[in-house]
């Protein structure tokens, strides 16, 4: 059996447990999760192993979790075997809390960019938000969707924002503020601290 | 208050002045503007500061203007306070006119690529055109949209084309022509000149 | 005549033979083909000319073929002059067969990434699949679409997967497997061989 099976040449393709049009909202959503995964793979090629070991470990876990998410969205069997749980969402939250302590306090929107990997993670952040929007579309059209996938994508986009900031901070590259920004962030995502 | 507020975990989120489904056309449009902004941030990391100082200055202005555009699309208050005006559109036009004088005359479609930053700006160009398409969708669905945003995106995609060509021209990398292209460009975007 | 003609500032634009709203499915589809083309141009900047001469040759042909595809989708004349044929699809199949012999046998999903150009081709792969989905949407809405374009995009995404694996294999970078993957690939896309 070859990698190209030609079974999709008429515009339909296989889910786990059924066939569907290639442009179904379900396939749109996991196709974009695959796109997110690819941008994360790209950012990983731009990260120095010594200085960013913690982020590289996070990102490899995230790549695996994105496959869990995609596989769960592809599963339309009567009794689907979902892989995603709330645990990876909680791990992301813990990591966001840790990472947000590292860069300088943030009050205004920042211009995406800085170090190469930070710039790529900003792209991944926006593609993740696109995947989240498409997951919402799917959930409105079809109830057989584990809600944790959308929560995970929502948190992932905030993780990617935090990680991009940490990369720039460790690289000594300041994040430039949007010049006409109001003070939109409340306390930089940190619990209020007396000493700040 | 943390950066992840969890307020969007049910599929709805906040605009300036209302709440909406995350997959509303309005959010789609400014979400893609954020994606454009990220690709521009990426291209900036690939540009030498000395040789491309003029383009880096343009691109930083553009990043700020994209935030103006996104913020205006997010503003659904009865009396919205729009930031975008026609002025940045005119500045882009002036810059396109200047930049198009630099590379060799163009008659046929060119293959996107060349120097790293030129290749990234071609990507940004196509994502900008996606943002423009989604802004058109939004304008057809909802009249509370400042029309200048679509004009700005339309011009921006032409600016990014011109900038990609200038990068390759300064780097001494010729743009390869699409081999089966007809002569599609009329006079390379320049006013007809006797000496050419 | 300047490059910015302003004729699209009202949300409509020209096809070959008609005008249409900028967010028509047809324009969506060839706009995304242009996006694919740009990511391929990007990957080409990351490939060493000596080691990857064969892939660079493939990719330049593909860039030209993507213009053929885009032009064909733009052509809505009564008697359109299509450029795409089945031949480039067959060439892709031959190249996939050749390339898939090179990297180690594959049974499980792999995490996108590895060498820079491999990571970028994984992105191009997912954007190609988006272009394929939008072409399917177009074909469902409108019958004036040469079906070979969808077949070409379907095969192209498999070619890009194979090419990404070859790049990593030549660079001595192993593809990491998705840790919770089942054995999803049947015989690595190769004809079953006794000695394997
Ligand atoms: C969902 C899916 C995807 C998703 C990935 C899933 C995700 N998690 O996000 C995405 C969109 C990313 C994807 C991408 C690709 N995919 Co895909 N994908 C599938 C699909 C629909 C399901 C695969 C899956 O996850 N199955 C779930 C597992 C758990 O099911 P299972 O394998 O049947 O396993 C069950 C049993 O078989 C058993 N089992 C499994 N292994 C074993 C082993 C033993 C010993 C035993 C006893 C039991 C057992 O346990 C499981 C219990 O449920 C299959 C088609 C299909 N319906 O199988 C194609 C498929 C695997 N994909 C295919 C291809 C070609 C690709 C791409 C190369 C396409 C491309 N050009 O981009 C890429 C490769 C991506 C990569 N990085 O490796 C082809 C492979 C063709 C081949 N030669 O085998 C398939 C078969 C589709 C097809 N064309 O027919 N894919
Ligand atoms: C639109 C928007 C975006 C747009 C950006 C806008 C654009 N221009 O394109 C996009 C989509 C890009 C975006 C991205 C993000 N955003 Co946002 N965004 C918003 C939103 C809806 C509006 C912000 C805004 O522009 N307000 C307009 C300004 C003018 O309004 P304002 O701040 O209220 O200011 C008014 C008054 O307060 C007063 N004012 C303002 N400052 C001051 C100061 C003083 C001293 C005084 C007297 C008055 C005053 O003046 C203004 C008059 O109108 C807010 C939610 C909300 N409704 O506020 C979230 C919000 C700011 N975003 C948030 C987040 C988390 C993000 C992201 C990190 C998400 C992600 N993971 O990608 C990114 C960060 C991007 C970056 N590069 O920095 C969170 C921040 C949470 C927090 N801890 O504070 C918010 C609050 C949403 C939420 N979850 O509740 N965002
Ligand atoms: C389809 C299209 C695209 C597609 C490309 C097609 C594809 N293959 O994927 C995409 C979306 C990629 C694209 C992108 C761009 N495009 Co465009 N595109 C067009 C469009 C609609 C058709 C062009 C085409 O392929 N025509 C098919 C050929 C075969 O037709 P033709 O040129 O008329 O040729 C026929 C005859 O004239 C004759 N002929 C042709 N040459 C010659 C020469 C001689 C000597 C003779 C006797 C006969 C002859 O033979 C042909 C027989 O059918 C035109 C508008 C239009 N309707 O012409 C804009 C157009 C060419 N594009 C334009 C622009 C600006 C761009 C972009 C810069 C936009 C951007 N910012 O991204 C990019 C550039 C991309 C690049 N890499 O170079 C402008 C150019 C403006 C100018 N100053 O001339 C045009 C004119 C649209 C407009 N605004 O009015 N485009
Ligand atoms: C920070 C702001 O971004 C918007 N927002 C929230 N979720 C998404 C998404 N998935 N895609 C694009 N924009 C989003 C909301 O307006 C929020 O307030
Ligand atoms: C150059 C050609 O690109 C097409 N075109 C115009 N605007 C867009 C857009 N936002 N996205 C994709 N294609 C577009 C039209 O067909 C135009 O003639
Ligand atoms: C490998 C798996 O990817 C899915 N699939 C097939 N074609 C596309 C596409 N254009 N976009 C996204 N997913 C697709 C099917 O579910 C297939 O089985
Ligand atoms: Mg969010
Ligand atoms: Mg235009
Ligand atoms: Mg396929």
Give the model's pLDDT for residue B88.
98
- Ligand 4 neighbour B5 (Cβ under 6 A): no
Per the structure block, which two tokens stand in for C63?
A: 């860039």
d(CA C93, CA C88): 9
The number of residues in chain A equals 196
Q: Give the pLDDT confidence score for residue B1 in this predicted structure.
A: 75
* CA-proximal residue: ligand 6, atom 10 (nearest): C129
A41 to C114: CB separation less than 8 angstroms, yes or no:
yes
From the CA of B67, the nearest ligand is 2
CB atoms within 10 A of CB B12: 13
Please tell me whether residue C139 adopts helix, strand or coil conformation: helix
The finding on whether B13 has its CB within 6 A of some atom of ligand 4 is: yes
Pairwise CB contact (< 8 Å): C96 & A9: no
Residues C7, C9, C13: CA angle, nearest 5 degrees: 55
Nearest ligand, measured from the Cα of B158 = 3
Mean pLDDT of A120-137: 99
Shortest Cα distance from B58 to chain A (angstroms)? 14
Q: What is the pLDDT of residues A179-191, one digit of tens each?
A: 999 999 986 656 5
Contacts with A60 from chain C: Cβ below 8 Å: 111, 176
- What is the C-alpha to C-alpha distance for residues B106 and B109, in angstroms, rounded to an integer? 8
Using the 8-state DSSP alphabet, how is residue C75 labeled? B
Residue from the list A3, A41, A68 with its beta carbon closest to the beta carbon of C122: A41
Cβ <8 Å between A31 and C151 = no
ipTM score: 0.96
Does the CB atom of residue B129 touch ligand 5 within 6 A? yes
Which of these, C63, C56, C74, lies nearest to C37 by C-alpha position? C63
Q: How confident is the model at residue B190 (pLDDT cuts 50, 70, 90)?
A: low
3-state secondary structure C28-55: HHHHHHHHHHHHHHHHHHCCCCCCCHHH
Domains and CATH numbers, chain C: 18-75+83-170 (1.20.1200.10)
Residue B143's pLDDT is what?
83
Nearest Cα residue to A99 out of A20, A167, A29, A191: A167
The confidence band for A170, taking pLDDT boundaries of 50, 70 and 90, is very high
3-state secondary structure of A137: helix
Taking the CA atoms of C121, A44, C115 and A68 in sequence, report the sign of the dihedral they define: negative
Look at residue C185 and give its three-state secondary structure.
Answer: coil
> Which of B113, B153, B190 to mutate to test binding with chain C, by most C CBs within 10 Å of its CB?
B113
Buried b (16+ CB within 10 A) or exposed e, C30-69: bbbbbbbbbbbbbbbbbbeeeebeebbebbbebbbbbbbb
Chain A residues 6-45 with CB within 8 Å of chain C:
6, 8-9, 11, 21-23, 27-28, 31-32, 34-35, 37-42, 44-45
**Which contiguous run of DSSP H or E holds residue C57?**
helix C53-74
CA separation, residue A9 to residues A70, A77, B119, C61, C149 (Å): 22, 24, 30, 22, 10
Option in A132, A134, A158 nearest B3 (CB): A158
Q: Give the residue with greater pLDDT, B193 vs A5.
A: A5
Res. A35: pLDDT tops 90: yes
Ligand 9 centroid distance, CA of C158 (Å): 7
Give A71-90 pLDDT, tens digit per residue. 999 999 999 999 999 999 99
| Among C106, C127, C128, C132, residue to substitute to test ligand 6 (most atoms within 8 Å of Cβ) | C132
What is the Å distance from ligand 9's center to A157 Cα? 28
User: CB-based contacts of C103: which residues, under 8 Å, 6+ apart?
Assistant: C165, C166, C168, C169, C175
- pLDDT at residue C186, as a whole number: 86
Alpha-carbon distance of B188 to B103, in angstroms, equals 10
Cβ count within 10 A of residue A158:
23
Whether the CB of A128 sits within 6 Å of ligand 4: no
Across chain B, mean pLDDT equals 95
List own/partner pairs for B185-189 with CB under 8 A and 24 or more apart: B185/B106, B185/B107, B185/B108, B185/C3, B186/C1, B187/B105, B187/C1, B188/B100, B188/B105, B188/B106, B188/B107, B188/C3, B189/B96, B189/B97, B189/B100, B189/B106, B189/B162, B189/C1, B189/C2, B189/C3, B189/C4
Which atom of ligand 3 lies closest to the CA of B106?
Answer: 78
Nearest to A149 by CA among A22, A35, A10, A30: A30
Using a pLDDT cut of 70, give the percent of chain A over it.
Answer: 95
What number is the average pLDDT over the span B112-139? Answer: 98
pLDDT for A100-118, tens place per residue?
A: 999 999 999 999 999 999 9
Q: Which residues of chain C have pLDDT under 50?
A: 192-196
Residues facing residue A20 across a β-bridge: A13
**How near does any CA of chain B get to the CA of C20, in Å?**
12
Residue B195, pLDDT > 70, answer no
Neighbours of B128 (CB within 10 A): 30
CB B153 within 8 A of CB B138: no
């Amino acid at each position: 059996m070859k990698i190209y099976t030609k079974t999709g040449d008429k515009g339909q393709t296989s889910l786990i447990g059924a066939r569907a049009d290639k442009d179904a909202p379900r396939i749109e959503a996991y196709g974009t999760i695959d796109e997110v995964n690819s941008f994360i793979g790209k950012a990983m090629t731009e990260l120095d192993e010594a200085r960013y070991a913690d982020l590289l470990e996070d990102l490899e876990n995230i790549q695996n979790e994105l496959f869990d998410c995609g596989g769960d969205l592809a599963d339309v069997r009567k009794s689907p075997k979902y892989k995603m749980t709330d645990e990876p969402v909680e791990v992301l939250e813990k990591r966001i809390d840790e990472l947000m302590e590292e860069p300088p306090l943030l009050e205004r929107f920042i211009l995406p960019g800085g170090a190469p990997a930070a710039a790529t993670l900003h792209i991944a952040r926006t593609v993740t938000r696109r995947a989240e929007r498409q997951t919402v579309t799917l959930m409105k059209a079809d109830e057989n969707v584990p809600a944790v996938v959308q929560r995970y994508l929502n948190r992932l986009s905030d993780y990617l924002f935090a990680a991009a900031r940490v990369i720039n901070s460790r690289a000594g590259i300041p994040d430039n503020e949007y010049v006409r920004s109001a003070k939109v962030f409340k306390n930089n995502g940190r619990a209020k601290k007396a000493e700040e």
